[in-house]
Amino acid sequence: MSAAELTGLTAFRNEPYRDFHQSGNRRAMDEALAKARAELGREYDLLIAGRAVKGEGTFASFNPSKPAEVVGVHQKGSVGQAREAVESAHAYFAEWSLTPASARIGMLLAAAELLRKRKSEFNAWMILEAGKNWVEAEADTSEAIDFCEYYARQMARFTRPDPLLQLPGETGELMYIPLGAGIIIPPWNFPLAILAGMTTAALVTGNTVIIKPSSDTPTIAAKFAQLLLEAGFPAQSVTFFTGSGAAVGDALVSHPKTRFVCFTGSRDVGLHINELAARPQKGQIWIKRVIAEMGGKDAIIVDSEANLDEAVSGVVASAYGYQGQKCSACSRAIVDESLYDAFLDKLKARVAQLTVGPAEEFGYDMGPVINARARTTILGYIEAGKREGRVIAGGGAAPGEGYFLQPTVIADAGPDARIFQEEIFGPVLVVTKARNFEHALELANATEYGLTGGVYTTNPEKIRVAKERFFAGNLYINRKCTGAMVGAHPFGGFNMSGTNSKAGGPDYLLLFLQAKSIAEKKS
């Protein structure tokens, strides 16, 4: 892209969602699902420095709605191959970092357009491999497009930094340069959007990347890596590497030529990565940068002055969208005692209307959880909830061959209960009574996490207080606490929720850059 084209970029706008009640959109998705089904069971190779490489064995990903169905067969990369991947990415960084930003921006915009044209295809793979229903898959792919479009425009901004104070007899400038080779470790729950956001932010700023996807959703990552190559990114700039996180993840993170790690996932894995990256290795000449988003135990406060119907709708949407498998999901509703019983009555009736079934079939509110291990863990929390509170809805598995669970509500849980404190990552909502708004804030903040939160109230003073004292990276007033939109809701949390990276915000690309100040004496 030329300088004129960079300055002439249109203002960013979020990608619109399609309505699948319209016959044309419905037909496009049916056709995409049929096409993806024809590819089920295909084997995918590692991509290292532009070469397709076999691993030391293979593993499969499965359809959580039909666990006997293999979605993709992937390579078990070895520790030696992991080291080779970092070495290759590091070697190519010198060339890629000097590629003009305008060229990188052009590639990213091309990737956005390819995603837009192949929206139904990527939706289909998420439905089959991640168990997302049609609406959730559409939102995921749309967010991936948003990240590409938004970060392209943000990089254009960073090519023109704000001018510095010019001292007499000198010219001064500030420029931003990329970091080096980085490891991208995306989660399975947003297997395209978060993957795309982290990867494209690193690439457009001039870094090389090694993508290490979750073993639950590697096929989606393979498809996206191929799309980046089609968009013009050089093969050596993008490495696709699959395998056991425990076996090869540590090798990728600890390599002395790894410059940064961008991770989204659980608290425990994030802390392990942070600890490992902090230990300097022989030959390492930098402090590794870790960008981490690690989950939450998010609360919505329903105040005595709330619109009760709106609060119930917002809590249900936040708690059960994608089966509660979002780090932003509402897992705690903290309700003023004056309307606690009325809230529970309305909540129970609304949850009873939710439908559960295979993600591939249009119309179900909830699909499966991601795998058998997750289902077992969630059922364990439900059993704990029966001891620590009172189950008023759900409470067990839902029928079907997939990993289906009933949307569950556990009332009367105290602040010391496991189900109040620990991230469950499933369709389980805990409801706790608060004496007043002050007490509700105390309960909301009584956790090691600080990702999202919400407040339903019509009282302006309580809104003001919540803005100051509700400790969450993303706070929502009188709306659900999920569904952060790129450009509108920069996303990232505090404390054990991560490094507050603010993905989709105006300062996110700075995490992949370093500033260089230059002063030249005039002759």
Q: CA torsion 116→121→123→124, rounded to 10°?
A: 170
Element (H, E) at 211: strand 208-211
Beta strand 330-336 with 390-393 is unpaired
35 within some domain: no
d(CA 499, CA 261): 12
Say yes or no: 237 and 122 in one domain: yes
263 within some domain: yes
| Residue given tokens 């960008």 in the structure block | 291
77 within some domain: yes
Say yes or no: 193 and 235 in one domain: yes
Q: How confident is the model at residue 2 (pLDDT cuts 50, 70, 90)?
A: low
pLDDT at 7: 63
**What's the total number of domains in the chain?**
2
Q: What percent of the chain has pLDDT over 90?
A: 97
Task: Indicate the pTM of the whole model.
Answer: 0.97
Mean pLDDT to the nearest integer, 197-219: 98
48 within some domain: yes
User: Which amino acid is residue 282, in one-letter code?
Assistant: K
Catalytic residue among 148, 262, 327, 330: 327
d(CA 158, CA 176): 7
Q: How confident is the model at residue 1 (pLDDT cuts 50, 70, 90)?
A: low
d(CA 263, CA 175): 26
Do 214 and 189 contact (CB within 8 A), yes or no?
no
Return the SS3 of 287.
coil
Mean pLDDT to the nearest integer, 401-414: 98
Q: Is the pLDDT of residue 4 over 70?
A: no
Residue 293 annotated to the active site: yes
Say yes or no: 289 and 304 in one domain: no
12 within some domain: no
Residue 330 annotated to the active site: no
Nearest to 172 by CA among 182, 156, 161, 158: 161
Neighbours of 69 (CB within 10 A): 17
Taking only the tens place, the pLDDT of each residue in 302-327 is 999 999 999 999 999 999 999 999 99
Say yes or no: 77 and 154 in one domain: yes
Query: Per residue in 209-234, is it b (16+ CB within 10 Å) or e — as a string?
Result: bbbbbbbbbbbbbbbbbebbbebebb
Extract the runs of DSSP E, i.e. beta strands, from 265-320: 289-293, 298-302
Say yes or no: 474 and 506 in one domain: no
Q: How many CA atoms lie within 13 A of 511 on its CB side?
A: 27
Q: How confident is the model at residue 161 (pLDDT cuts 50, 70, 90)?
A: confident
Range of the domain at 310: 298-485
d(CA 81, CA 49): 11
Catalytic residue among 149, 293, 360, 388: 293
